[in-house]
Amino acid sequence: MIYFIVFILIVIGGVILAQAQYKKNTAIANSNKERFNLTLKEKNLPSDQILFTEADFGKNCLSINEKNRKVSFGKIIASEFKFEDYDFSDIVAFEVQVDDKKTGSLSVGGAVVGGILAGGVGAIIGGTTGKGKTKVKTMNLLITVNSISNPLIKFPILRPSVDGKGYDSESITIKNAVKIAEQWTGIFTIILNSK
Tally the domains of the chain. 1
Q: In whole angstroms, what is the distance from residue 184 CA to residue 113 CA?
A: 18
Q: How many CB atoms lie within 10 A of CB 63?
A: 23
- Domain containing residue 51: 2-193
Task: Identify the band that residue 65 occupies on the pLDDT scale cut at 50, 70 and 90.
Answer: very high
Quote the mean pLDDT of the chain.
80
For residue 55, what is the DSSP state?
Answer: G
> What percent of the chain shows pLDDT beyond 90?
16
Q: Is 20 exposed, middle or buried (0-12, 13-18, 19+ CB in 10 A)?
A: exposed
Q: What does the pLDDT look like over 2-42, one tens digit per residue?
A: 877 877 878 788 778 878 777 887 787 788 888 888 888 88
